[in-house]
A and B are shown apart, each in its own frame.
Chain A
Amino acid sequence: MGTFLLKRIMQSAILLILVTVIAFGMMRLAPGGPEALYAVGGNMKAEDLARLRKSFGLDEPVHIQYVKWTTGMLTGDWGRSYRDRRPVTAVIFERIPATLELTVSALLIAIIVGVTIGVLGAIRQYSVADYAATVGAMLALSIPTFWFGLMVIYLFAVRLGWIPSGGRQTLGEPFSLVDRLHHLAAPALVLGLVLVATWSRYTRAAMLEVIGQDFVRVARAKGLSESRVLFTHALRNALVPLVTLAGIQLPLLFGGALVTESVFTWPGMGRLMVDSLSYRDYPVMMGILFITAVLVIIFNLISDFLSAMLDPRIRLI
């Protein structure tokens, strides 16, 4: 166990370094820069812009900038945003609550609904319900999130007025759980529904595979009730690939739900990434990338452990 962890940590460190080097280099190589924002509207002359670049540290060679960034990261100084000069840690971490809210809700919806549909489809294979679920899944996978989100806003917010058209809360009012849920409903459902498709297909496939195996037949022959066979024995084994799926999806959703966030103007990390991209706010971009990479590594590790717990045949070496 100890050696396993050590090996994984070393692999992760190398991976992180590689990711940051590539990202850092690509950002600097891309044309344009953060001072372009000021060049358009202001009265800034060429020498003022040069001074601005210097204050961002962009006048130094790329590898020096990288070394400075890495040493900063190791000591907890993630740099300062080019846009408002606040510490990157503050800028990113204040977005985490909103992001978690959306991501976790969407994933919960996806898992609960998706697994249910998948199990039903596996049990009643080739029934009408199964075909309906399959078609539904294909539809949900094919519909672009932004179109779906806009349609939901148009129908339920503009036409019917049942839900607000965006944001996380009604501004200017004191905190109210009902208000927050009211705002969370649409984006979580839209994001969740697209994921339901993936979850239901994976679950169905995994369940079918397990149900067809010998030990299930043995369990039935032993006289166990059908629900015990399905849920205690079959589903538990079908969970292994699903845990892996969760491990992959959660960190990606963290910074990658940007389409849903944009459509519903949800103040999460995805939108921060998009805004930073257009401002060429390199420190914030690197910060988000770093966090996402770390999360991917951590969640992969967790899902590996969970898989091993669920299925003793899996050994962690």
Chain B
Amino acid sequence: MSSHNDQVQDLVSDWKSGRVDRRTFIARAMAIGFSLSMASALLLTTDATAAGVATKRTLTSKPQGEPVKGGQVIIGLSQEPTLFNPVLSNLEVDRGVQYAIFDSLFRIDDGALFVPNLATEIPTPGNGGVSADGLNYTFKVRQDAKWHDGTPVTAKDVLFTHTTIMNPDIPSPIKLGHDKVASAELVDDYTLTVTLSEPFAPFLIVWSDTFIVPQHILEGQDLLTSDFNSTKPVGSGPFTYVNRTPGESIELAANPAYHGPGPYLETVIVKYLQDTNILYTQFKTGEVDYTGIQGITAAHYEEAITLADRVINKAPTAFVEFIYPNFGNPIFQDIAVREAMYLAMDKANIISQVYLNIHTPSETYLAETSWANNPNLAVHEYNPDKAKETLEAAGWVAGDGGVRGKGDLKLSFTNSTTEGNDVRAQAQQYLQQTWADVGIEMKINNMPPAVIWGDYYNKSQFDTVMVGEISGVGGDPDATARFASSQIPVLTGAGKNTMQYSNPEVDQLLADGAKEVDQEKRKEIYFKVQEILRNDLAVLPIFHYTFVEGTKTGLSNFKANAFVVSNMWNVADWYWQA
């Protein structure tokens, strides 16, 4: 039984000792699940560390040179972080600040490896941290970590964080995963053992996204009304909260007592700029050193890459853009319709003309860099004639206005997405055209985010939506909440299967996959899941999102990480080159 980290580390040590040549390295890396580009990146990483550069433990797997202390970085965001309590908010915009102020037991680095943060080691079957049956986990907390007020961090804080998240009166968005815990026990001040009700493979990933909060401050307080949430957050992370100018900025200062390597920057300022055009303008004039959410949009991309003294980073993400059909609508229950919709989608041109080739096409819900991504799925082809044939053969004949019908049903439906996103609107219009050519009538009905992602989406009131989502917990392939028939909110009140997709074979496979702890066997299971989903066209995948962000030249150790929601994940390692 080998863990993901073990396989990667075996490969790296084989390379360092010269047992494998470059070609074999790449082949084995791809077998573990890395795509070709990631395998090459892994090779470069390994070379850098082998050359003995920066022996300090960093959160990143690719340290660049000797870090220089001092300086300030201004991070521009087009949304405002306001809720800093990591138990109450996991929104991307808030997570960025939380990464600076708080620690988690471990983090996922940009090479998809777990790196210990507050924990002394990653629990594995090898070191006894995970029991053979996958039900017992032992977390060992490091003894030199302190809260920003000087109190030591202990395993009691970890336990407190967990019980607070699971508290039924607290609407925490990160209960998923923590709800699998049957019991938790403090062995001593620095050791916590947790027993699950059933094996849950993504359990460690859940903890990599769980920031630890201080028991001695929050215990006994009414969490929902506490000052801690947005004016006095106290963490154990690399930066302390200084102050906030509402509507404008948040100031953070380096934590001199931080247990880890870094921080090197003296001050971090998170600036709120509301509008992506203004964010880009300030990046251009140098008033912002790094464009966070929403990064550099397709509208500015062509100019951005020509700017002097700026580095434009294209980062793969785990987000995939889909068309979700609602299986509650009888039209979409016919596989011929879904196949025809997919055949009549001009994916290549949508990506190249509308999105300027920033993103890459996708056939599955998993990121290209995921170890479980199935590279053997059927490849999309744009074939309107075949679409027409498929529909004809299934009995959908052209009616008045060229729109097809079958019996009482008319092949006419709406497609909705977030209003105000001009680029997506263009993609929708193009789709509308190519679908009309084969006799499918699609009407566009866009709404503001607070409307569309409310009941309209959650209670499956839509026909189709165009949406960008991550389907597994933290990029893990376990997508039970998205595709299992028990997870249809409008029917069972639980889950995220708003498409109302139901396939017993997929249900069984997903259940097996969540329990299986052996990476190799899990991979087989999820390969099968992706194959079925692709052939069934439960959802129509369009592309993998590539996030485009800009940094000022000289900002080192900025690392785009596809496995976390915010690229401020390693702000402790950033520094300005001298």
Contact = CB atoms under 8 A, between A and B. Distances in A.
B281 A167 contact: no
A257 to B, nearest CB: 13
A45 B271 contact: no
A172 B248 contact: no
B224 A37 contact: no
A182 to B, nearest CB: 13
A69 interface: no
B269 A32 contact: no
Q: Considering residues A40, A47, A271, which has the most beta carbons from chain B within 10 angstroms of its beta carbon? A: A40
Interface stretch (A116-124, A191-199, A272-280, A305-313): A272-280
Given A157-B285, A265-B274, A85 B229 contact: yes
Interface string B547-559: 0000000000000
Contacts of A31: 447, 451, 454-456
Given A37-B453, A158-B284, A279-B450, A98 B230 contact: no
B489 A45 contact: yes
B493 A95 contact: no
Interface string A58-100: 0000000000000000000000100111100001001100100
A84 B449 contact: no
Interface string A270-292: 01100100111000000000000
A238 to B, nearest CB: 39
A232 interface: no
Given A32-B448, A45-B495, A158-B284, A40 B278 contact: no
A80 B225 contact: yes
Contact of A42 (B72, B174, B247, B454): B174
Contacts of B173: 38, 42-44, 48
B466 to A, nearest CB: 13
Contact of B90 (A41, A54, A161, A171): A41
A49 interface: yes
A34 interface: yes
A153 B285 CA distance: 11
Contacts of B495: 45-46
A43 B209 CA distance: 11
Contact of A95 (B171, B247, B489): B247
Contact of A167 (B91, B224, B271): B271
Contact of B449 (A165, A263, A278): A278
B282 A165 contact: yes
A96 to B, nearest CB: 11
A164 interface: yes
B88 A267 contact: no
Contact of A265 (B82, B278, B451): B278
Nearest to A279: B450
A12 interface: no
A166 B82 contact: no
B445 to A, nearest CB: 12
A51 interface: yes
Q: How large is the interface on A (under 10, 10 to 19, 20 to 34, 35 or more residues)?
A: 35 or more
B572 to A, nearest CB: 19
B494 A55 contact: no
Contacts of B457: 36, 39
Contacts of B449: 32, 36-37, 40, 278
A46 B458 contact: yes
Contact of B473 (A43, A46, A262): A43
Given A45-B494, A172-B74, A166 B273 contact: yes
A35 interface: yes
A52 interface: yes
Interface string B471-501: 0010000000100000101000111100000
Nearest to A280: B450
B447 A85 contact: no
A265 B248 CA distance: 8
Nearest to A150: B277
B269 A278 contact: no
A158 B452 CA distance: 37
Contacts of A44: 173
B251 interface: yes
Given A33-B450, A167-B249, A265-B274, 10 more contacts: A36-B449, A36-B450, A36-B453, A41-B92, A42-B174, A85-B88, A95-B247, A165-B285, A262-B274, A265-B248
Interface of A: 30-52, 54-55, 80, 83-86, 91, 94-95, 98, 153, 157-158, 161, 164-168, 171-172, 262-263, 265, 267-268, 271-272, 275, 278-280
9 contacts: A31-B451, A38-B173, A41-B92, A41-B565, A42-B173, A46-B489, A80-B225, A157-B281, A165-B285
